Structure 1
């Protein structure tokens, strides 16, 4: 292969990574010598590639420092602004959403399809001891109904935690639920009616689409951008064009992109929705999982309880199976509590008692630091495995937190075909079209990176890469 073709191919690959947000603005690029070694090219070829990108204004050379990305990432390549903002509100019409539960229930797969932390990363033994103590201490209470709102000590703990990131919450507005999904579903049932318009990000978690579908709502899709999250200007444009009842958003570490919406943008989002009478339903499930260790503020920080209902749970930070979540109801507390009472009466008592015992004995922040470090390391290892072993031209997100990676495949590889071929090899991934109302992102897949990085995981990612190359061929 000629020198000219080599440097042009390398420049083209890096150009696409910059445009898609894989290489982010301000990020330092590998040194020329390292680039040459990693790509097995000459130093002259590496110099030509960087000079080409520099001429295009995508990177810059800094004296005695190296090369850095100049261009800010654009919107996802298959989620352009014009494409999504031009759509009319539509019911959820993605038939593939009905089949995703079949895959999630399987236990014979390497679980790269789940956004759940491995049990070894969670305080499993300590929680088991707390469950046992709660049963021994007061078995009658543990096995009885509790009040629909949840145990006061647990609600106080949740309010205290939010106060640490600048959101002043009255414990009396906290309502305990069976996980974050029940909180979101109850909020949708309370604030919307069938046929109402709801804004969701694209791409977004398939479970949110399923919840919206269950309530007979119509969807407007709002692009979520790699590296910067939700654009308030795009949100305002949708609000001005449509009578939107609610906006169901994941501003802190969107699933699947892992992107974080900035603090000022969050403030603008709340203000825009308030101005148009739109209720914001905030899915704050991943808010505690910032790789930097700095917990971003929730949208509720910029609201007085009038316009934002924040939903979350301990499923991603302590124990998925305890199914303990919450709503921060604000002025809608009474309505939400009535909906909760009519729906499930109350959340199970024993898990709440166990968590109260656990918090009295353990520092949750210590466990979160360990979990964040592990997830950040996993994300980096998974990303590198994709770049090393998957087809050339595959682009993978660089999340700021959470536990998912979003991979864009070369255009000749179909995500559904790769998903099915990976299942046949005993590896679970999810096809990208599950993360859109209309089944967009057909050349994408999502990976969960909560599973520990070990030889099994590495082998699974290598296997999927080999399958993808065969599909490409």
Structure 2
């Protein structure tokens, strides 16, 4: 329905009036709502405006009509959140695990095509070949076969080479990052991170009382070298955290010329670099130079995980570092990760047999198809309401509201309709990206995805200005 600006304001007011009416305290069971004519006279607006507001509520499943009787609504039961309820990330985590929730924000690329079956099948075969090892033979930094394979896979030249002793494998990425924070002495230190940045990383840094300076990505995924150089000159920067190739949640690739300039700048200042390599396997072409190929490997640490492209059965995190060997070995030994040596061997065999590379080729294609479908739906249903950053890999889409809106209200309205999005504020510690949101099409059939996108469009249109 095409409506004028005056009608647009009117239907929003009617919608909010009905929303309050539905949720008035004391309502039990079905609630009969005023007729179109009654509301038209009471609110002084046209019947067509009332009808449009009712149609929105009906599409959300909060209102239903009975022939020759009128409209009825079931009062929406508010969701009870453990704790204070003021933590946005906690709210997302808790509700995303509730039955009936439609999560439009998940970053789980492997869910589209997990490697669980071949991994577990190979693990069963290896169990027959390798007897259970005594505890004293366990390798606290990870299975040597897998560490050797990773070292070879990350080696690109005689100057940029890695050895098994440079590789450390932990039970999950969070545990590995916690060890890095301790080994590098980052508590109360100053680090620079590209922004937006993964919320898991930001929360860990915040809990460790690290002073974080955010360096926003520019259009096209580039970093401002002049701004970075000024920071390196005036701030006591301990290290900088950058993506190896593909930034998430933006899904953008840093341009090659910009990558070279940034690498030269960091090398010239002797800056320690912590490279996030979790997504580099998921860019659409799967090839090309990584940031680490341009840096001094003696002042570089690289971390990653298998989970993003293999699935939850391979949740291990790992780090590569030539330096800090004694401290890293000591912390991994003290952490006492309980790692299955046979499963690590199975992961290594999937690599050596070429299965991982075959899988990545298929996964990248499937992810791209799903992202294109979501972007088409967003443009069809929302028009110019969202400005989309064209992703070049990964499982998510990064978008910005075209008008200033209260994104918290958008999130809360969708949560009441059992839909979860990831507001952009989660990807910053300093209030950046407040008009952005991360969306994902993973786990939805075509018709269901269209319905959820429609609810998102309604929430954005109805949200008051920020």
Give the TM interval when normalised to the shorter protein. Answer: 0.7 to 0.9
- How big is the shift at 1:143? 8.7
Distance (whole Å) between structure 1 residues aligned to residue 172 and residue 312 of structure 2 = 8
* Matching residue of 2:193: 200
- How big is the shift at 1:279? 1.8
Deviations 1:75-107 (A, max 9, x none): xxxxxxxxxxxxxxxxxxx96455443245445
Alignment counterpart, residue 309 of structure 2, candidates 317, 341, 366: 317
1:219 aligned to 2:222? Answer: no
Range with greater deviation from structure 2 (271-280 or 154-163) = 271-280
* TM-score (norm: length of structure 1): 0.73
Contact 2:142 2:339 in 1 (8 A): yes
Distance (whole Å) between structure 2 residues aligned to residue 246 and residue 97 of structure 1 = 26
> Which SS does the other structure have where 1:147 is aligned?
coil
Contact 2:251 2:397 in 1 (8 A): yes
1:372 aligned to 2:364? Answer: yes
* Matching residue of 2:273: 280
* Matching residue of 2:61: none
Distance (whole Å) between structure 1 residues aligned to residue 244 and residue 145 of structure 2 = 28
Distance (whole Å) between structure 1 residues aligned to residue 261 and residue 188 of structure 2 = 27
Number of aligned residue pairs: 379
Distance (whole Å) between structure 2 residues aligned to residue 335 and residue 277 of structure 1 = 21
* Matching residue of 1:209: 202
Q: 1:160 to 1:210 in 2, by over 3 A?
A: same
* Matching residue of 1:159: 151
* Matching residue of 2:118: 126
1:237 aligned to 2:209? Answer: no
Alignment counterpart, residue 378 of structure 2, candidates 371, 386, 411: 386
> Which SS does the other structure have where 1:282 is aligned?
strand
Q: CA RMSD in A?
A: 2.7
- How big is the shift at 1:349? 2.9
Distance (whole Å) between structure 2 residues aligned to residue 422 and residue 401 of structure 1 = 27
1:459 aligned to 2:451? Answer: yes
* Matching residue of 1:109: 101
- How big is the shift at 1:269? 2.9
- How big is the shift at 1:364? 1.5
Deviations 1:391-425 (A, max 9, x none): 63311111111222111113343222222222222
Q: 1:238 to 1:416 in 2, by over 3 A?
A: same
Distance (whole Å) between structure 2 residues aligned to residue 422 and residue 227 of structure 1 = 30
> Which SS does the other structure have where 2:217 is aligned?
strand
* TM-score (norm: length of structure 2): 0.74
Point out where structure 2 has 5 or more consecutive residues left out of the alignment.
1-85
Q: 1:162 to 1:251 in 2, by over 3 A?
A: closer
Deviations 1:259-280 (A, max 9, x none): 1113343343344334434321
Distance (whole Å) between structure 1 residues aligned to residue 406 and residue 121 of structure 2 = 47
Query: What are the within-5 Å matches in structure 2 for residues 168-207 of structure 1?
Result: 168-207=161-200
Query: What are the within-5 Å matches in structure 2 for residues 56-455 of structure 1?
Result: 96-97=88-89, 99-106=91-98, 108-117=100-109, 119-138=111-130, 140-141=132-133, 146-163=138-155, 167-291=160-284, 293-345=285-337, 347-390=339-382, 392-451=384-443, 454-455=446-447
> Which SS does the other structure have where 1:257 is aligned?
coil
Q: 1:128 to 1:109 in 2, by over 3 A?
A: farther
> Which SS does the other structure have where 1:406 is aligned?
strand
Distance (whole Å) between structure 2 residues aligned to residue 145 and residue 427 of structure 1 = 48
Distance (whole Å) between structure 1 residues aligned to residue 392 and residue 216 of structure 2 = 18
Distance (whole Å) between structure 1 residues aligned to residue 376 and residue 433 of structure 2 = 22
> Which SS does the other structure have where 1:230 is aligned?
coil
Contact 1:290 1:296 in 2 (8 A): no
Deviations 1:420-468 (A, max 9, x none): 2222223221111111112332222111344466332232222222332
